[in-house]
Amino acid sequence: MTAIAATPSATPQMRPRPLRFGRDTALLTWRSLRSIPRVPERLLDVTIQPIMFILLFLYVFGSAIHVPGISYKDYMFPGIIGQSLAFGVIGAGVATSNDMTEGVIDRFRSLPISRLSIISAQVTSQFCEQLLGMFIVVGLGLALGWDPHLTPAHTVELIGLMVLAIFAFTWCGVLLGMLVRSPDAMQGVGFIVIFPLAFLAGTFVPIAGMAAIPRAIAQWDPISVLVASVRYLTEGVKTGGSWPLDHPELAMALWSLVLMAICVPLALRRFNRTLAA
Amino acid sequence: MSSTRTTAIQTQGLTKRFGDFVAVDSLDLEVEVGTVVSLLGPNGAGKTTTVRMLATLLRPDGGRASVAGHDVVQEAARVRELISLTGQFAALDKHLTARENLVLMARLRGRGHREARRIADQLIERFDVEPFRDRLVKQLSGGERRRVDLAAGLIDRPHVLVLDEPTTGLDPRSRQVVWATVRELVLDGVTLLLTTQYLEEADALADRVVLIDHGREVASGTPAQLKAQVGQQRVDVIAADGAAFDQMLALLDGRFDVKPLREQRMISVAAPEETADLARVAEAVEVSGISVDEIALRRPTLDDAFLALTGHPAQRAEEPEREREEAVV
């Protein structure tokens, strides 16, 4: 009996905490990204969906929309980027909701790993997916003749802004995914909250022509601000009409920080309450 | 100090509520090192909730629980190094292969890449995972998954292994495979807490059985003690009509230990030798030519155990499959 108790369970000696956190996050991120080639439909929301919208607006609705001083193609692609980012929130939420109800999460939670790495890996892998989706959208845009007039300085600024925004939006998606009861509920939230925000935003038509209430929303909507900053950096076009739209890049950076200031603590709190307890 | 050395699991007044529903109600449990204890009870008895608290997946609302002397709340991180839980629902990544899952679990337990692969391959051999090691978990059958799941729980030799209904939902053949695996582990001296709904399973695997219902202990003892209280296996003979019943009783009484139940036209014969007794009874009936509706060997079930030990049948409440706090949407 005592011999059995004395047999040490051969757990390797523990690494320092920050190292363990980094290592566990990397391992769990790998396990999440590993499934992409096996479940390619996971990428539908960041691939097929924007493609459908590009085709729809470029070749169907676009012919009826005239924006003075700019070709509709150049006007639309910043909008597509904003809309993909918004829909990415739904994708991240659905993926999180799916993942967090899997039995394997219980296994991870019962292992001697850093529990925070479960959520950090979720955010990291979703962030990677959103980045990949953005590459696809931009690549497709360039292939279809979108011609962003970027200076090197603007390119750096645009990339920095996009990475910041994608990171903030990913946290929103992960938070929503942990709050909802099921992936289906996340689809519902996406349709009720995210979908309107993606369109009340000067994504595909100028804000100036909207009725008063949608226009007021569109003047402050973060998606709107994002689209305005991409449009300003690529085409030099300023939308204007409200403080955020007059200063789109600064407003976008601020929006990202505000979203993170709200979502990160809430997501961590939610995680601690439900899964880390 | 001495208690931590010989006690693998100890709970005192352990309690968990979900709203008004008391899932585990002041449960006292003790599992000694090197023994196999089975928590036996119907659905909703609180078995899963209990083991989830032990594995630090749920926080108790009252009482205390410790694994090898370490409190599951205060020293949760330490407990996670000592305990390994294999749940009722396969805890594997379904989009990874069996082998990838095992390598991942070993790496999460702190092993380097090469070491993790070596451990995974050892487990693959030991648990007969070889034929489907490179198939995605979602493509595996229930029995195959359970084998991978068991293997994943044994990356490190755990101080305590907890198996939550390891054979629920498995076909009889897969159940035999799981039993054989568990027996091997037990021979190795693993301390095991096993939950089950099957009296037969507790009997086959456990040194000690704790019968629980509504989150409370109803009875406990060795399988032999419990079975002695529940009653042994019997051969039930049902006569075709009242006259046949009387003839049958005259035939069997004296030769066997019989219990006649006239209203059901049934004679229940004690069958300590199981199938051998079944054959003897069947032969006697056959030779006599008395007409019967049915002859069957009956093993005592969980329901019989409840009836015998508590005086009421097991009540099946629905246990929430996965207890999570209220979601807001």
Torsional sign, CA B203, B207, B213, B214:
negative
Please answer yes or no on whether A27 and B108 come within 8 Å at the CB atom. Answer: yes
SS3 call for A149: coil
Model pLDDT for residues B290-328, shown as the tens digit of each residue: 888 888 888 776 667 777 776 666 554 444 433 333 333
The residue-averaged pLDDT of B238-255 equals 88
Q: Is the pLDDT of residue B247 over 50?
A: yes
Query: Which residues in B lie closer than 8 A to residue A15 (C-beta atoms)?
Result: 110
Model pLDDT for residues B106-146, shown as the tens digit of each residue: 999 989 999 999 999 999 998 889 999 999 999 998 888 88
Query: Which residues in B lie closer than 8 A to residue A112 (C-beta atoms)?
Result: 77, 80-81, 109-110
For B41, B46, B54, B283, the CA distances from B21, given in Å and listed in that order, are: 17, 11, 19, 52
Domain with CATH 3.40.50.300 in chain B: 2-222
Q: Which domain holds residue A217?
A: 42-52+75-274
Model pLDDT for residues A194-224, shown as the tens digit of each residue: 988 998 888 888 888 888 898 889 889 999 9
Which of A2, A9, A36, A187 to mutate to probe the B interface, most B CBs <10 Å? A9
For chain B, the residue count is 329
Please answer yes or no on whether B329 and A12 come within 8 Å at the CB atom. Answer: no
For residue A269, give the nearest of A147, A174, A198 by alpha carbon.
Answer: A174
Q: Is the pLDDT of residue B103 over 50?
A: yes
Number of CB pairs, chain A paired with chain B, less than 8 A apart = 111
**CA–CA separation, B109 vs B95, rounded Å?**
20
The residue-averaged pLDDT of B272-276 equals 81
Query: Which residues in A lie closer than 8 A to residue B159 (C-beta atoms)?
Result: 5, 9
> For A180, which of B92, B105, B329 is closest by C-beta distance?
B329
Please answer yes or no on whether A11 and B81 come within 8 Å at the CB atom. Answer: yes
> For A179, which of B58, B191, B329 is closest by C-beta distance?
B329
Q: What is the pLDDT of residue A8?
A: 39
Please answer yes or no on whether B107 and A112 come within 8 Å at the CB atom. Answer: no
The residue-averaged pLDDT of B175-179 equals 85
Please answer yes or no on whether B156 and A108 come within 8 Å at the CB atom. Answer: no
Residue B246 in tokens? 């009387």
> For A111, which of B94, B95, B108 is closest by C-beta distance?
B108
Cβ distance A121 to A32 under 8 Å? yes
Query: Which residues in B lie closer than 8 A to residue A104 (C-beta atoms)?
Result: 91-94
B62 pLDDT band, cuts 50/70/90, is very high
> For A11, which of B83, B93, B109 is closest by C-beta distance?
B109
Q: Is the pLDDT of residue A50 over 70?
A: yes
**CA–CA separation, B55 vs B75, rounded Å?**
12
> For A110, which of B5, B56, B191 is closest by C-beta distance?
B56
* The three-state (H, E, C) secondary structure of A202-244, written as one string: CCCCCHHHCCHHHHHHHHHCHHHHHHHHHHHHHHCCCCCCCHH
Q: Is the pLDDT of residue B70 over 60?
A: yes
Whether the complex's predicted ipTM is more than 0.85 is answered with no
* Domains in chain A, number: 1
Residues B281, B284, B290: CA angle, nearest 5 degrees: 110
Please answer yes or no on whether A109 and B56 come within 8 Å at the CB atom. Answer: yes
Q: B232-299 has which CATH code?
A: 3.30.70.100
> For B91, which of A2, A106, A180 is closest by C-beta distance?
A106
Query: Which residues in B lie closer than 8 A to residue A39 (C-beta atoms)?
Result: 95
Domain with CATH 3.30.70.100 in chain B: 232-299
A45 beta partners: none
Q: Is-above-0.90 flag for pTM?
A: no
Q: Is the pLDDT of residue B329 over 70?
A: no
**CA–CA separation, A248 vs A165, rounded Å?**
13
For chain A, the residue count is 277
Query: Which residues in A lie closer than 8 A to residue B82 (C-beta atoms)?
Result: 9
Q: What is the pLDDT of residue B119?
A: 95
Cβ distance A188 to B327 under 8 Å? no
Cβ distance A91 to A173 under 8 Å? yes
Structural domain B2-222, CATH architecture: 3-Layer(aba) Sandwich (3.40)
A7 pLDDT band, cuts 50/70/90, is very low
Tell me, yes or no, whether A204 lies in a domain.
yes
> For A39, which of B57, B90, B95 is closest by C-beta distance?
B95
For residue B163, give the nearest of B152, B176, B172, B174 by alpha carbon.
Answer: B152
Residue A194, phi then psi, degrees to nearest 5 = -75, -40
Tell me, yes or no, whether A196 lies in a domain.
yes
Nearest chain B residue to A101, by CA: B322
Cβ distance A171 to A260 under 8 Å? yes
Residue A104, phi then psi, degrees to nearest 5 = -65, -25
Please answer yes or no on whether A110 and B55 come within 8 Å at the CB atom. Answer: yes
Q: Å from B28 to nearest chain A CA?
A: 22
